[in-house]
């Protein structure tokens, strides 16, 4: 555990490239936790607070083609800082389980490995944007960008500014996520995204129960 000051709360994040299935899994997992009787807060990064949602709209707007990589980085961090201070810290302090769709690993993967900004700069920016908060457990859903593209074609979701990047970019992001997972084996659990929704969810629950029970808690 990284923060003994956070009451009994747990901060759980879901990561991966677009269309890997992380929102689906985060939603099912949050529902499962609620069904177990836990007070659970479900969030998305960037977003969730009113200010962060407005920053999200700026970030994902396809017409903002001129946005510099550093502006992008700082806006992600600004949105995150607001969400952490306003929503996550209070929830953790009161013992809630917080489930978040993306967090700072996405910044490392997209702005660091995808946009190829200096990883040392990204680390500092992440420290600031997360206000020093690290997830207790992170589920990374790994999927080939080609398969993600097939899922996108089947869906009617409009592309946003990050999703509009090509396959090379998505491959760098995917490999970036795997490097991050390799560097943080105690925090990040990698799941194969080409399995069924139910299989992935089952593995997430088992992985979570292991971490939870290791801390002497019971579900
Ligand atoms: P993300 O949040 O990673 O962008 P979503 O959870 O929104 O991804 O899922 C994107 C699309 O892929 C949705 O249409 C969803 O129903 C579908 N999907 C999610 N998980 C799977 C899976 N394991 N197998 C097949 N399709 C999936």
Which one of 151, 193, 199 would you pick to mutate in the ligand 1 pocket, going by the greatest count of ligand atoms within 8 A of its CB?
151
Query: How far is the centre of ligand 1, averaged over its atoms, from the C-alpha of 18 (Å)?
Result: 9
| Ligand 1 atom index nearest CA of 26 | 6
Structure confidence by residue, pLDDT tens digits, 163-190? 778 899 999 999 999 999 999 999 999 9
Residue 2 has pLDDT above 50, yes or no: no
Task: Copy the structure tokens of residue 203.
Answer: 């593995």
pTM, rounded to two decimals: 0.94
SS3 at position 100: strand
Q: What are phi and psi of 158, to 5 degrees?
A: -75, 145
Distance, CA of 75 to CA of 100 (rounded, Å): 18
Angle between helices 22-35 and 197-214 (to 10 degrees): 50
Residue 15 has pLDDT above 70, yes or no: yes
Residue 7 has pLDDT above 90, yes or no: no
CA–CA distance from 140 to each of 39, 70, 106 (Å)?
23, 25, 10
Residue 75 has pLDDT above 90, yes or no: yes
Query: How far is the centre of ligand 1, averaged over its atoms, from the C-alpha of 20 (Å)?
Result: 6
- Chain centroid, CA 95 distance in Å: 21
| Ligand 1 atom index nearest CA of 24 | 6
Element (H, E) at 97: strand 97-101
Beta bridge partners of 179: none
- Residues with CB under 6 Å of ligand 1 are 16, 18-24, 151, 155, 196-197, 200
Alpha carbon distance, N-terminus to C-terminus of the chain: 17
The protein residue whose alpha carbon is closest to atom 5 in ligand 1 is 21
Query: How far is the centre of ligand 1, averaged over its atoms, from the C-alpha of 152 (Å)?
Result: 9
What is the reported pLDDT for 219? 63
Query: How far is the centre of ligand 1, averaged over its atoms, from the C-alpha of 141 (Å)?
Result: 11
Distance, CA of 26 to CA of 44 (rounded, Å): 10
Average pLDDT over residues 35-62: 97
What is the reported pLDDT for 212? 83
């Amino acid at each position: 555990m990284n923060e003994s000051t956070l009451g009994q709360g747990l901060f759980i994040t879901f990561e991966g490239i677009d269309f890997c299935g992380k929102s689906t899994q985060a939603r099912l997992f949050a529902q499962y936790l609620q069904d177990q009787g836990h007070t659970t807060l479900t969030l998305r990064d960037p977003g969730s607070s009113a200010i962060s949602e407005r920053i999200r709209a700026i970030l994902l707007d396809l017409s903002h083609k001129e946005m510099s990589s550093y502006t992008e980085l700082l806006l992600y961090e600004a949105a995150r800082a607001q969400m952490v201070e306003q929503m996550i810290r209070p929830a953790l302090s009161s013992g809630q389980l917080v489930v978040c769709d993306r967090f700072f690993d996405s910044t490392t993967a997209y702005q660091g490995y995808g946009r190829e900004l200096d990883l040392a700069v990204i680390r500092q920016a992440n420290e600031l944007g997360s206000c020093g908060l690290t997830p207790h457990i992170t589920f990374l859903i790994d999927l080939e960008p080609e398969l993600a593209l097939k899922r996108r074609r089947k869906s009617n979701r409009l592309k946003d500014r990050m999703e509009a990047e090509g396959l090379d970019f998505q491959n760098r992001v995917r490999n970036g996520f795997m490097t991050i997972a390799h560097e943080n084996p105690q925090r990040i659990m990698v799941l194969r995204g080409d399995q069924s929704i139910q299989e992935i969810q089952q593995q997430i629950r088992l992985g979570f129960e292991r971490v939870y029970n290791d801390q002497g808690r019971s579900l």
